[in-house]
Chains A and B, each alone.
Chain A
């Protein structure tokens, strides 16, 4: 990976959406296409202001379907590209999100979650698009879904999102929520001395030997932008290594395996999570995003009362750190999953716990943030629950 030096400055005081824009530009984003939707609009506004100043391109499209289509085109033409939206827009993007998975085009999609279904709660907080981020488009594929829980993490993980997209030639979904997006916090840009920026990979072979979807040991092929003399075909149909449509069973299976395996083989590079007080924990709280902030406070409170509880804060929901969750299930008596929905990640946690300990939820879905007190009380309930219940 090439390293790009960031100018050291004083700590910035930034809004979440602003941090996302700044980090995207640092990561190399030079094209943004979007459609206004609350609570993500500041990202489009920031890009419309900043990209023209650095030789990048911005366009406001006619809808979200067009927005994601444009950034896939832009990415194929050689620019690192991003769009930002919220639930209803993300639903519209599902169609071409699948196209990007199939054609292995690196793009970053920011979904600033609000309450759903449908128009839902436009100005309120929710984490209910979690399963949609993983399974939103039709067909078999594996997704990378990233969830920051502070403005600092929005900055750092936006860069990670771009790097993962470029490294694995895949769409990456950055899940923010209304509270994070509009919250202002201190961001230490200077705390990161060097930022790793993943450049576009370039083919090592001349055009006549180039296969845009070559099956390689790590399942990631070299890519090259349009207009560089390589003249390949890109299609949303299942295709062979040359990029031409195929329905031969072995080629179909090879393509689908490629999509899944490239993420699976690279999972250690992608996965990120933080642990607090897990060494001697008898209980664990698993959380992410805004909910993890309340969970962290609840852990502090419980520790002050002598309850041995730890926190697993997921920064990537997929690939999911299932192995670690399974280990923790051996260590603790119960796991509490704190999230702002009716119980989505709890299913994934439960799947890896395999019945080895109790799993309960601290769920809230009324548009307001979880209070640390609520999480603490749910923790007491978990503690009081008898075995087998």
Chain B
């Protein structure tokens, strides 16, 4: 009842329809969902004008619970679906929620090309280092040596750095925070949603049921402590030597580029010119 009262104030959750969520107790996804809702609310964006798109996985279940125009698509494909929406309705606020497997493994190619176009979509990658929904298999971000159900002897695949890829591919806003630094994460998500261009926020999240349990952090708090201990600000990260960086990760805003042209605006400009030329050619 209390929850219902809180939710009715903002009306962003489909509280009467699909709760409770599928997420395990101790899961970090809920806090990030809260951060997205607060961002939309604080930016005063009409929820009729928000499309929330996801792929497949634990984090990708999020749209079902939120009262926006929601699209729960196929594994890894959220970004091209979102691209189609944005091309047809450039006025819409398009937010994509993805996990480390969905966004960086099967959806890796779409990720690179969405960054490249700098299309005005906000991508929130909830990185829990493991495939949760399928029961704990190794993911592209699983740290070397960590255990998963398809890495019973420890992960031998070097992990993927979403921030570096997004920056290199041309995203115009790139940030990383963790679920421990949730206030900071919320701030970045709000900035990303307000940003014109492709924005990516990676939020490192806790999965006590699988990643935590298989890697000696069975209690949800253990993994938050692990994030606290190993997160380093960009400034301090740069001071660290190669060996000191092992096991640690930088958090902060990596790219804030306001000058890169946004794709749908460029398309509109190109169309306008083409129409003018066609008219001049006729007369």
Do the beta carbons of A226 and B89 come within 8 Å of each other?
yes
Do the beta carbons of A52 and B72 come within 8 Å of each other?
no
CB distance from B260 to the nearest CB of A (A): 18
Total interface residues on A, using CB and 8 Å? Answer: 45
Which B66-116 residues sit within 8 Å CB-CB of chain A? Answer: 67-74, 77, 79-89, 91-92, 109-110, 112-113
Q: A74-B87, A76-B85, A81-B84 are in contact. Are A66 and B110 (CB under 8 A)?
A: yes
Which of A63, A230, A236 counts the most chain B CB atoms within 10 A?
A: A236
Asked if A196 CB lies within 8 Å of chain B CBs, one says no
- A30–B87 CA distance with the chains assembled, in angstroms: 10
CB distance from A240 to the nearest CB of B (A): 10
Do the beta carbons of B275 and A52 come within 8 Å of each other?
yes
User: Of A52, A67, A79, A233, which one neighbours B88 at CB under 8 angstroms?
Assistant: A79
Asked if A78 CB lies within 8 Å of chain B CBs, one says yes
Do the beta carbons of B77 and A235 come within 8 Å of each other?
no
Do the beta carbons of A228 and B48 come within 8 Å of each other?
yes
Report chain B residues within 8 Å CB of A78. Answer: 88-89
Asked if B8 CB lies within 8 Å of chain A CBs, one says no
User: Of A33, A227, A245, which one neighbours B84 at CB under 8 angstroms?
Assistant: A33
Q: A53-B275, A65-B77, A72-B81 are in contact. Are A226 and B72 (CB under 8 A)?
A: no
Asked if B47 CB lies within 8 Å of chain A CBs, one says yes
- A15–B73 CA distance with the chains assembled, in angstroms: 36
- A138–B136 CA distance with the chains assembled, in angstroms: 25
- A244–B70 CA distance with the chains assembled, in angstroms: 11
- A228–B88 CA distance with the chains assembled, in angstroms: 14
User: Of B51, B67, B113, which one neighbours A227 at CB under 8 angstroms?
Assistant: B51
Interface mask (A23-53 → B, CB under 8 Å = 1, otherwise 0): 0000000110100000000000000000011
Report chain A residues within 8 Å CB of B113. Answer: 61-62, 66
Report chain A residues within 8 Å CB of B225. Answer: none
Do the beta carbons of A234 and B77 come within 8 Å of each other?
no
User: Of A52, A55, A65, A231, which one neighbours B69 at CB under 8 angstroms?
Assistant: A231
- CB closest chain-A residue, reference B271: A52
Which B223-243 residues sit within 8 Å CB-CB of chain A? Answer: none
Residues of A within 8 A of B (CB): 30-31, 33, 52-53, 55, 57, 59, 61-63, 65-67, 69-79, 81, 95-96, 99, 225-237, 242, 244-245
Besides A62-B80, A227-B48, 9 other A-B contacts (C-beta < 8 A): A69-B74, A74-B87, A77-B85, A77-B89, A81-B84, A96-B73, A96-B77, A234-B72, A237-B72
- Enumerate 11 A-B pairs (CB-CB under 8 Å) in ascending A order: A31-B84, A53-B278, A57-B87, A59-B87, A62-B109, A66-B80, A69-B74, A70-B80, A77-B92, A226-B51, A229-B48
